[in-house]
Structure 1
Amino acid sequence: MTDQGDPSITRSDPSLTDADEVARALAVDPATGLTTAEVARRLAEHGPNELRSTRTNPLWRRILAQFTDPLIILLLVAVVISVVAWIVEGAHGWPIDAVVIGAIIILNAVLGLVQEARAEQAVAALSVMTRAQSTVLRDGELHTVASAELVPGDILVLGEGDQVGADGRLLRASALRIAEASLTGESEAVEKSAATLTAQVPLGDRLDMVYKGTAVARGTGRAVVTETGMTTEMGAIATMLDETREEPTPLQQEVSRIGRVLGRVVIVIALVVMLALALIEGINSPSDFVTILLLGVSLAVAAVPEGLPAILSVVLALGVQRMAKRNAVVKQLSSVETLGSASVICTDKTGTLTTNQMTIERIVTASGTVDLSGAGYAPIGRAAVDGRPLEPGALRTEAQIVLGAGALANDAQLAEHDGVWEIEGDPTEAAFLVAAHKLAGIVEATAQYGRIGDVPFTSERKMMSTVHRRADGSTVVLSKGAPDVLLERCTRVRVGDDVVPLDGARRAAALADIEALSQAAYRTLGVAYREAPEFGSLDQGGDVADPDESHERDLVYAGAVGIIDPPRPEVPPAIAEAHRAGVRVIMITGDHPATAARIAADLGIVEPGRATALTGTQLDQLDDAAFAQAVRDISVFARVAPEHKLRIVDALQADRLVVAMTGDGVNDAPALKSADIGIAMGITGTEVTKEAANMVLADDDFATIVEAVREGRVIFDNIRKFLRYLLYSNTGEVLTVFFGVVFAGVLGLSDASTDSIVLPLLATQILWINLVTDSAPALAMGVDPEIDDVMARPPRGLHERAIDGRMWAGIVTTGVTLAVITLLTIDVFLAGGVIPGGTDSVDVARTAGFTTLVFAQLAAAFVARSATSSAFHGLFSNRWLVGAFVLGVVLQVLVVSWPPLQVAFGTASLDWQHWVWCAVAATAVIWVDEIRKAFVRASDRRRAASGGGNARGGGTGVRDAGRALADGDGPRHPSSIA
């Protein structure tokens, strides 16, 4: 279809135009939708159905942004001063200092651009994984497409939980209610109608329209798309927003705070060092002034880890990509740091803790009980009695009849696709199809039955029946439904090969068996049958009425089954791991309290003897104080409403706990948005829930949440690792220069040169150290594998400092060690000083000290991987860090040995004795830290022995009171097929 109709109608107000007229104006047939070719043409004309995002900065702006950092500006000033001094002194040769500093500035900018690009690519990849979907009618068939591909004229098919992908005029609506709070601020969902409005009304009152970004709260409908992208009402709002400023996360705030504190401290130190040099050595020429100024600027740059924000973004982005590979799609980089702090996981039951595949586990008949193994829809398992295989006899015959009749009185289908068993229809009915494969002979026997009629299930009757013809021409009525309802229609019972009257005693026994199943939290269904000769002439074309309720009489009771949605096998170990990590797990479900309690006990959420659940009705009876206490004590909540979920999350957060909340339905969205980490189900979750969530589970598996918590903790540990390392290095550089200037006379530096100002390290050497030892090792530590057992400690509080007192102690110790071994190296090779015997020039001694500091900082990267574990633990487990170490060593050898770099960085060639000393002296940073960590571990053991440390494992707050608040009675509800 290529006719464009009359677009003026849709440009005015389609709410005032008849729906069919709107469709004609958009040249679309509501019965078939647009053709694929026409969609492609319109998509090219109108563009993708997306809101205009923040404009990407052009390359020149991003390059310029790399030079706006205050420290980089300081370096640029230093370049200008160096060039001016070079000109004043006659412009002889090359302005080496200016060239080297300029090259370092450019290299720094390139590194920053690359790091930013990697972070942007990671976020872009995640946005593709979480993009919204819409159901449309095209070429006469339903298709699920990305909402960005919608075009004007598309026929939107709306269902409960869907996010409306574009603005549209309703064609029809059935009990359709749309949540439009995101657009109009209206808290209540709006009931929609396809009836044409008679007058222009405000946006919130246009009942025959649906709008992009809103959500279907209830009902179904179809609409023809009238506007897409920036021409939608949501797009109109977007055009009014110039730019949304994202608030920095707590971690980003702390990194900025660290930078500011260090900046102030180092500026003071730099000024002190510059002043001391000026007073002690004097300024005799412009060159001396430039030397002092460059040293001060270099100290400031060396001490403040200006690359932290870029490295932080890259590390978070890489961590998020690793999570995505494990089926945890984190939508925002900032959520990663919160994930590692989760102290409570509130989770739904169905599909998350359980397989969401109803399974028959038990059959009860007149002769006993049969247990069926296997879980889910794969027809694999066996029948057993008290752990022994089911032998031929009365019980086996009865079990075969129960499963065979249940499989025939059935509207579901079971099929295998690419090795995966899938069902169509009601999961409870499908459970019979699966179970029938677990007893030999049933599938073959049921194949001889042909279905000739049925009495459908209704919620009022709570049962269904089907009529079947056997191969011999006889007919039979097969019924299944709520056992108590079914028993009322039964007059006989099957016992082995016989049918006997269903007297009072046998009826009572059957009811007792059903009650026992219910007490064990099984969903129960009964099965019955009777011979039906009245249908015998159907194949001869006789005038026999269709089956109805009158045929559900004088039934023979065969038995009942216990059905349950079994726990996922991987969940109990995951919950045990969460408890070991001090993370409490709370089940919040709409299921029956006894079922919830049973599953919670099976999974290890609560102890079996204390498996009680609190219902939403009981929660409503509590005041705020009692509610808060109940949330502290109870870990299983059943029959809850959306407001209960939100209130539970709020109560937990009031106790300063970091809450992760799972959900899949529209009614879960408020709780997900309120939680610190909202987790949506990727398979069963609605678009609204995914939109409200911070993280999407691609596999709907609880174990993935626990793995995400682990990954979040590892990522935060890695952030602390490179923070620790950068501060080790920068502190060492500052202290080296500071003590080298203050104790220049003691070290022999003042007497070893005729220069007016002699420094332990040149400004260009400091900048080189910053370039070689900072970026590559820090980035490598961002992907460091787990060194310490991150799940063996309690959750980190949101307001806990990333750099605590213990880390500061390590920073000071390592920084002092770096400075001492560097200055001792200079003293060893320099004539005079504390250690006699040195014969080298100041250039050689300084080069040896420079090399020792570089080697020691590279070695410190392995030291910084853990606050307590030895540096030799998993020494080669991070190949990127090993590679960064080797690269740093190679570059240092080049800067010392290659003449062009010798000139640029003021180095001199070293002989083998120098190299050996530098390598051995650099290891001192490892041995000193090993001693410090040994004391730390001993202190931790003493604290743990005295009970003063943090409790580890056990599941913080995992307890249930088992009070009268909890529902202690088993379920007495009738089961149904629907």
Structure 2
Amino acid sequence: MDNQAPLDPAPIDGAPIDPCMPDPSVVDVAEVVRLLGTDATLGLTPKDAAGRLAVDGPNELNVTATTPTWRKVLAQFQDPLIYLLLTATAVSLGAWAIEGTPGLPVDAIVIAAIVVLNAVLGFVQESKADNAVAALAGLTAASSTVLRGGELITVPSRSLVRGDLLALSEGDSVAADARLVSAKSLLVEEASLTGESGAVSKEARTLTEPAALGERRDMLFKGTAVSQGVGRAIVTGTGMHTEVGAIATMLESTVAHPTPLQSEISAIGRMLSRVVIAIAVVVMLTIVLVQGVSTPAGFVTVFLLGVSLAVAAVPEGLPAILSVILSIGVQRMARRNAVVKNLKSVETLGSASVICCDKTGTLTRNEMTIQRVLTASGRVDVTGVGYRPLGDVLHDGEPLTDPALLAEVQLVLGAGALANNARLTEHDGDWRIQGDPTEAAFLVAAGKLKGANVNMARFARVDEIPFTSDRKMMSTLHQERSDGSLRIFSKGAPDVLLRLCSKVQVGGVVVPLTDQLRRQALDDVQELTEQAYRTLGVAYSRGDETTGSLAEDDERDLIYAGVAGIIDPPRAAVKPAIAEAHRAGVRVVMITGDHPVTAARIASDLGLVEPGATALSGLELDRLDEDGMRAAVRTTSVFARVSPHHKLRIVDALQTNGDIVAMTGDGVNDAPALKSADIGVAMGITGTEVTREAAKMILLDDNFATIVAAVRAGRVILDNIKKFLRYLLSSNIGEVLTVFLGVIFAGALGLTGASSETVVLPLLVTQILWINLVTDSGPALAMGVDPEIDDVMARSPRGPGDRVIDGRMWVGILYTGLVMAVATLATIDLFLPGGLLPAGRDSLAVARTAGFTTLVFAQLFNTLNARSARSTAFHRLFANRWLWASLGLAVLLQLAVVELPLLQTAFGTASLDVWHWAICLGMASLVLWAEELRKVLVRALARR
């Protein structure tokens, strides 16, 4: 590991800081503390930390250098179609110079201006996408818990400095290299760094000689994760001066792979490019042959037309618009407490067919509340909900006064609050917890019972054996302040705890735990479980035989105190959210560590399953082979008493069955299942750093209803992508067909007879490019923020093999494009003499301008069509103010290009009177009415 620069702030003890610090794994902790100028108990002061951050810089790995603005601008011109336009500009300039045409080279100037404007629009769109993604990265920034000035605080991981004292517990990510000061049952996952599959045991004992990276038991490394236990460590290296930083310096830049949606759109773009270029070549050859082009000016005009047609017909802005729409949609989801870490995850989110979720904190409020306590002498009820320690302890509906029962309940609540790592704080009347909600429930209940807090104050903690998912219990060693005697307090799953108990507390005395008393205790647990309570048993013993530290062998011959019934009330929004998910064809599967009866009861109350449904337990899952597992997940929606590997098996079986799975989790052991799921969803409040890193989405409010809302939002985003694809492709095909059919039927339309031009075209080159500029970007982007038009939750999830643009959508696109072309050419014919329609009296310039305007308006009407493939365009017509703003701007620009003399010269237009404008508007609206007719037929067929 490289050494960082010497630290400017003076060390706490005044000793100089060694600028060339040796390998900290072979240096005694006291020497590491001295070298780093810190304190092994209090940590750095905030002032020292700020000074060191200024010297060493943020705790971040070097990222790819930001692309300079000039390169981003230049990149807008690096496109084959842009090369064609620039070539066309050069050819036009050359023809103008050779022929000595008077005046300015208008065509060349207009084409060049459109190229520049297109580049500006592309640059702005990409900048918006980059800014949106950067803002989302800020929402998921990692944090670490440190001691600074003796105060335990949470800081952004990027602000860690050498000398910081990290406080680590199960589920935390290690954000910097650090030397252990203390450790208790500490296991760390280092597979990301060393490749070892199992967790590594860590201890603070100094190594006697340098060791390989995977054998440095007294060191923690950036990028690893705590899977069990607690510890404190002094940061010895940050940023690039860490082991993972050393690896990062050797890595080459990786190429990001496009998402399936991006790949499909790129494929569409390539396919269109080939088709349209082929059509452009055919059009050019047709013009040359049909109209007998022989002059250089004629060939230049034909070439410019072919280039312009290809450029206008291919929506080269699709990737940029897609990124903008995805980023805007993801930011909207973030404002609704669903942070999607990567834009590509939105594709999967809208396709989720199964949501697997934990019960506690997701379906429920995560405000665990002790409502009942059962001991050897009876039962009491505890009133009050949430974390405010206000309520009463009642026996048979009256305040608890029975001495024996009172003593037992005080012991249960007091001991449960001592064997505890949660904290309960109050600020301006707002009560909050830090730590596990179930543990916090004991602190709250102890505050409601007179005497329980007094008992807690008698003891000082000495040691602990932390809770793990395998042990299902925890124990703490405490010393009584008055006489120095030791006590062990334990709490955990009642069945586990009772196996370690040999006695029971009855009033103020301790008696042997007979078979009858054991059955009574188990019956109490069953009673609470059947009433949907989570149960935690409490026991204690004297710790006189311990050596001042606690080991699992000391957890024996315990004295059973009683059991607490804890409930976590469901969130109010969950039941309707589950109903909404079912309506959308999305199954909801509960996977919990709770008792099967409790899980089934809560699931039934929430409408997740029918009343009377049962849960499948982890033990039952262990007896299933892979085929049995796949069959079980098809019909079972509640899994209880499961371990982390069960969650992974459930997810894998669902995916094997063809489901797209969203999986929620909060603990470090949930990380494998979250990573394996199609959409891993981490809890933002109770989730560990590891789960947030493994997940693709983070719930800032830990609420299941937010997941369903995010599925809806994901479907709306996909719908909006379809909208702008439907709009762009049909409009661009309309332009291609207008020119193609206009050239082929130029004589029948009256174009040939009305012109003395060498080459007669239905639309001029500059007009085609203008249409592409005015109608493509603004309305397409506005569709990206369109609200929900169709009921997206009334249809089944999108299958993994379903294409964004299917055959039915292509038929609709071609149909709309053809209607546009026919309406445009009919308008030109209507105003020209000698065509198919009644003879007109206008010049070619006026007729062409009318056709040009009709095509622009037809594309603007097409925005209303494209908002839904089935619903009428008049449904929620004015719901998108941005769309109407873009349409209004496009109309104003078209008025300007038709009526302003300067733009008339540039784009070959002529002024139109009111009659002309009315005809253009009416002909353009045929696109709307034709599509409305098609939708009526579609809806009629769907009803049948």
Judge same fold: TM > 0.5, yes or no.
Answer: yes
Q: For the residues of structure 2 that align with 1:460 and 1:253, how far apart are their CA atoms?
A: 50
The answer to whether 1:604 aligns with 2:607 is yes
CA distance 1:82–1:889, shift in 2 (3 Å): same
CA change 1:623–1:262 in 2 (3 A) is: same
Cα shift at 1:630: 1.2
Q: Secondary structure at the match of 2:398?
A: helix
Work out the CA distance in 1 between the residues paired with 2:52 and 2:202. 28
Question: Which one of the candidate residues 577, 583, 586 is aligned to 1:574?
Answer: 577
Question: TM-score, with normalisation over the residues of structure 2?
Answer: 0.86
Residue 146 of structure 1 deviates from its aligned partner by 0.9
**Structure 1 CA distance, aligned partners of 2:68 and 2:457?**
70
In structure 2, the CA distance between the partners of 1:419 and 1:114, relative to structure 1 (3 Å rule), is farther
Contact (CA 8 Å) 1:179, 1:216: kept in 2 or not?
yes
Which residue of 503, 509, 531 maps to 1:520?
531
* Offset, 1:640: 1.6
Q: Which residue matches 1:954?
A: none
- Taking the aligned partners of 1:159 and 1:505, their CA distance within structure 2 comes to 40
Q: How does 1:562-711 map to 2 (within 5 A)?
A: 562-610=565-613, 612-711=614-713
Please say if residues 376 and 566 of structure 1, whose CA atoms lie closer than 8 Å, have aligned partners that are also in contact.
Answer: no
Please give the TM-score of this superposition, normalised by the length of structure 1. 0.83
Q: Residue in 2 aligned with 1:34?
A: 44
Corresponding position of 1:187: 197
**Does 2:246 correspond to 1:236?**
yes
Instruction: Give distance in 2, aligned partners of 1:464 and 1:41.
Output: 39
Aligned mate of 2:271, from 253, 261, 264: 261
C-alpha distance 708-236 of structure 1, shift in aligned 2 (>3 A): same
Question: 8 Å contact 1:363–1:399 — kept in the other structure?
Answer: no
Encode CA deviations 1:462-482: one digit per residue, 9 max, x unaligned. Answer: 9999x9xxxxxxxxxxx9997
Query: For each residue in 1:507-557, what CA deviation from the matched residue of structure 2 results, as whole angstroms up to 9, or x when unmatched?
Result: 9999977644332332468999xxxxxxxxxxxxxxxxxxxx99x99x9xx
Q: Indicate the residue corresponding to 1:397 in structure 2.
A: 398
Q: Is 1:764–2:775 an aligned residue pair?
A: no
Counterpart selection for 2:138 from 114, 122, 128:
128
Structural mapping, 1:557-956, within 5 Å: 562-610=565-613, 612-942=614-944
Contact 2:375 2:408 in 1 (8 A): no
- Spell out, residue by residue over 1:105-149, the C-alpha distance to the aligned partner (whole angstroms, 9 max, x if none): 111111111111111111111111111111222223222111111
- Map residues 303-322 of structure 1 onto 2, 5 A cutoff: 303-322=313-332
CA distance in 1, matches of 2:456, 2:587: 54
Aligned ranges for residues 143-154 of structure 1 at < 5 Å? 143-154=153-164
Change (3 A) 1:489 1:19: closer
Q: Offset of 1:16 from its aligned partner?
A: 2.6
SS for the counterpart of 1:216 is strand
**For 1:480 and 1:297, how far apart are their aligned partners in 2?**
78
Could you tell me whether the CA contact under 8 Å between 1:365 and 1:398 is conserved in 2?
no
Seen in structure 2, the aligned counterparts of structure 1 residues 823 and 373 have a Cα distance that, compared at 3 Å, is: farther
C-alpha separation in 1, matches of 2:375 and 2:246: 66
The correspondence for 2:286, drawn from 273, 276, 287, is 276
Identity of aligned pairs, percent? 62
Residue 90 of structure 1, CA deviation: 1.0
Q: Which amino acid aligns with 1:214?
A: T
- Note the alpha carbon deviations across 1:391-417, whole angstroms, 9 max, x for none: xxx943377879987885544597764
Amino acid at match of 1:622: L
Separation (CA, whole Å) in 2 of partners of 1:182 and 1:834: 74
- Counterparts of 2:679 and 2:516, CA distance in 1: 56
Q: Corresponding residue for 1:106?
A: 116
The 5 A counterparts of 1:320-469 are 320-360=330-370, 375-377=385-387, 395-397=396-398, 410-411=413-414, 417-418=427-428, 420-422=430-432, 446=450
| Alignment match, 2:10 | 2
Q: Out of 270, 295, 316, which is 1:285 matched to? A: 295
Determine if contact 2:591/2:640 at 8 Å carries over to the other structure: yes
Deviation of 1:9 after TM superposition, in Å, equals 4.2
Conserved 8 A contact 2:408-2:505 = no
Going from structure 1 to structure 2, the CA distance change for 1:175 and 1:201 (only over 3 Å counts) comes to same
Compare 161-170 and 25-34 and name the one that shifted more. 25-34
1:63/1:460 Cα in 2 relative to 1: closer, same or farther (>3 Å)?
Answer: closer
- Equivalent in the alignment of 1:116: 126
**Distance in 2, Cα, partners of 1:425 & 1:313:** 39
* 1:840 counterpart SS class: coil
Q: What is the aligned-residue RMSD (CA, Å)? A: 3.7
Q: Distance in 2 between matches of 1:57 and 1:907?
A: 41
1:966 counterpart residue number: none
CA 1:695 to 1:480, structure 2 compared with 1: closer, same or farther past 3 Å? Answer: closer
Is the CA contact (8 Å cut-off) linking 2:716 and 2:792 kept in structure 1?
A: yes
Give the C-alpha shift of residue 422 in structure 1: 3.4
Matched, 1:96 2:98: no
User: How far apart are the structure 2 equivalents of 1:705 and 1:856?
Assistant: 39
Distance in 2 (alpha carbons) for counterparts of 1:415 and 1:28: 29
Residue identity opposite 2:641 in structure 1: R
The separation in 2 between residues aligned to 1:574 and 1:639, in whole angstroms, is 25
Distance 2:779 2:66 in 1: 30
Distance in structure 1 (CA, Å) of the matches to 2:503 and 2:579: 43
Distance 1:21 1:817 in 2: 82
**What secondary structure, in the 3-state scheme, does the structure 1 residue paired with 2:803 have?**
coil
Q: 2: CA distance between counterparts of 1:449 and 1:303? A: 76
Q: Could you report, residue by residue, the CA deviation over 1:843-902 in whole angstroms, capped at 9, with x for unpaired residues?
A: 000000000110110111011000000000000000000101111100000000001111
Whether the 8 Å CA contact 2:355–2:588 is kept in 1: the answer is yes
SS in 2 for 1:609: coil
Taking a change above 3 Å as real, the CA distance of residues 508 and 883 of structure 1, as seen in their structure-2 partners, is same
The verdict on how the C-alpha distance between 1:83 and 1:166 changes in structure 2, with shifts beyond 3 A counting, is same
Structure 1 alignment gaps of length 5 or more: 384-389, 438-442, 468-478, 493-503, 529-548, 943-978
Secondary structure of 2:912 counterpart: coil
**Larger RCO, structures 1/2 (Cα 8 Å, 6+ apart):** 1
Report the 3-state secondary structure (helix = DSSP H, G, I; strand = E; otherwise coil) of the residue aligned with 2:612: helix
Structure 2 CA distance for aligned equivalents of residues 522 and 601 of structure 1: 14
Aligned mates of 1:916, 1:170 — CA distance in 2: 81
Q: Deviations over 1:579-607 (max 9, x none)?
A: 11111111111222221111111112211
Structure 1 residues 562 and 209: alpha-carbon distance in aligned structure 2, compared to 1, 3 A threshold: closer
SS in structure 1 at match of 2:182 = strand
Q: Which structure 2 residue ranges, 5 or more long, are not aligned? A: 1-8, 418-422, 465-471, 481-489, 509-514, 540-555
- The one-letter amino acid of 2:157's match is S
Distance in 1 of aligned mates of 2:646 and 2:758: 77
The question of whether the paired residues in 2 share the 8 Å contact of 1:679 and 1:693 is answered with yes
Distance (Å, rounded) in 2 between the aligned partners of 1:846 and 1:340: 45
Q: Cα–Cα, structure 1 residues 797 and 230, in superposed 2: closer, same or farther, change >3 Å?
A: same
Moved more, 916-925 or 249-258: 916-925
In 1, Cα distance between the equivalents of 2:769 and 2:473?
A: 81
CA contact (8 A) 2:330 2:340 kept: yes
- In the TM superposition, residue 20 of structure 1 has moved relative to its aligned partner by 2.1
Aligned length: 880
Secondary structure, aligned partner of 1:723? helix
Contact 1:368 1:395 in 2 (8 A): no
Map residues 546-565 of structure 1 onto 2, 5 A cutoff. 562-565=565-568
Alignment partners' CA distance in 1, 2:910 and 2:618: 78
Superposed displacement of residue 234, structure 1 = 1.0
Of 318-327 and 28-37, more deviation after overlay is shown by: 28-37
Aligned with 2:168 (options 153, 158, 177): 158
